[in-house]
Amino acid sequence: MSRAERVGIVGAGRFGTALGNVIARQGRDVLMWSTAPDVVESMNSARRNPRLPDVELADGLRATSDGAELAREARFLVVAVGSTQVRDRALALGDVIDGSHLVVHAIGAFASPGDQRVSTVLERETAALRIGVLAGPALPSDLVEHRFASMVVASRFDEVTAEARRLLGGSEMLRLYRASDLVGVELAAALTGAYTLALGMADALGLGPGPRAVMVTRVVAEATRLVEAAGGSARTFSGLAGLGNLLVRSTSEARRLSLDYALGQEVGLGETRPGNRVTEGARASAAAVRLARDLGVRVPLLDATNAVLTGNLSPRQAAQAVAESVAQQE
């Protein structure tokens, strides 16, 4: 298979592996780059990834520990690593890719440390000229169990979104929608982690269906203000990357797997002290509060969530503060 027809995936976590397996099952070659030699060996020899052990890997999926091989073999790359790994992987990618590569990332978080959008880091640290983001309510379990899933791919470049749909969306079970709002989709995807954590806390406090619905409505309004102030479209958070992502993360199935929701529950129930554990949502909460302050945007839900995580408010005090803020100002 030619370089233009092969998909390269940076990272070998649960989502990257699930996505790669879906693509490979459609008859397309997939090359995954992992920095863990034991993971590479297991994927190539045992046809299993220890991070997704119940899934037998498709024949067309192969792993490598050589970033230069990935760059040679694939023109279209998907970056799927944790937020704290973004900078190191971007630097490593910068040594091997050039302006011919198309790069999209599937990281629903801010790059940490630094609170930057992931596309900004990729632009600064690599020679890639055309960059996009892949986001939406597609769980690894949906992908590996062949359940219908949808995502949005956003970029300022039509070639990126067109190639993403052609190369990644060949399965009837994975539908990709195109968008040009790179900023909005990135921010929406990152913010959902923080709001998922907040929903976990609210559910732990016994918030009923009505108040919970009000909270989700306020989430959409608050996130929309922040996304628009940062340069994104006012419509974006109401789509797959924002509201769609939030709704799927708060389902009963996703709650068992979501570290953000679990942390919110534990903090809300008093089972763990704020600051004892940090998730992508916790980092996103702090980063979003700083961004909102810089932009002069009111974000009472994020402020309250971050106040709990930093030990400045109890969960019940935070809930009361949000209720009073909404009643007085919105």
Tokens representing 300 are 């009472």
5-9 average pLDDT score: 97
- Torsion region of 98: left, alpha or beta (phi above 0 gives left; psi -120 to 50 gives alpha): beta
Reply yes or no on whether the pLDDT at 175 is more than 60: yes
H or E element that contains 135: strand 130-135
> Nearest to residue 11, comparing CAs of 79, 101, 113?
79
Which amino acid is residue 94, in one-letter code? G
pLDDT at residue 326 greater than cutoff 80: no
d(C-alpha 4, C-alpha 21), whole Å: 18
Amino acid at 294: D
Q: Which long-range contacts (CB under 8 A, 24 or more apart) does 52-59 make?
A: 52/14, 52/17, 52/18, 52/140, 52/144, 54/144, 55/17, 55/18, 55/21, 55/144, 57/17, 57/21, 57/24, 58/21, 58/24, 58/25, 58/30, 59/24
Encoding tokens for residue 62? Answer: 């192969």
Give residue for tokens 């986001």.
135
Confidence of residue 283 (pLDDT cuts 50, 70, 90): very high
Q: Token match 């699930």: residue?
A: 18
> What is the spatial distance between Cα 8 and Cα 239, in angstroms, rounded to a whole number?
27
pLDDT tens per residue across span 96-118: 999 999 999 999 999 988 889 99
- Token pair, residue 202, equals 């609210």
pLDDT of residue 189: 97
> Do 109 and 285 meet the contact criterion of CB atoms below 8 Å apart?
no
Across 227-231, 251-255, 281-285, 314-318, least confident range: 251-255
Render 68-107 in DSSP notation, one character per residue: HHHHHH-SEEEE---GGGHHHHHHHHHTT--TT-EEEE--
Residues linked to residue 79 through DSSP beta bridges, in sequence order: 10, 105
Is the distance from CB of 260 to CB of 201 less than 8 angstroms? no
For strand 130-135 and strand 149-155, is the pairing parallel, antiparallel, or unpaired?
antiparallel
- Give yes or no for residue 222 having a pLDDT over 90: yes
Give the angle subtended at the CA of 299 by the CAs of 296 and 304, to the nearest 5°. 130
Cross-strand partners of 69: none
Q: Quick check: 312 and 201 in contact, CB under 8 A?
A: no
Which of 124, 104, 121, 103 minimizes the C-alpha distance to 113? 121
* Model pLDDT, residue 207: 85
Say if residues 126 and 97 touch (Cβ distance below 8 Å). yes
All domains in the chain, ordered by first residue? 7-180 (3.40.50.720), 183-329 (1.10.1040.10)
What average pLDDT does the chain have?
Answer: 93
Global pTM? Answer: 0.94
Distance of CA 184 to the CA centre of its chain: 13
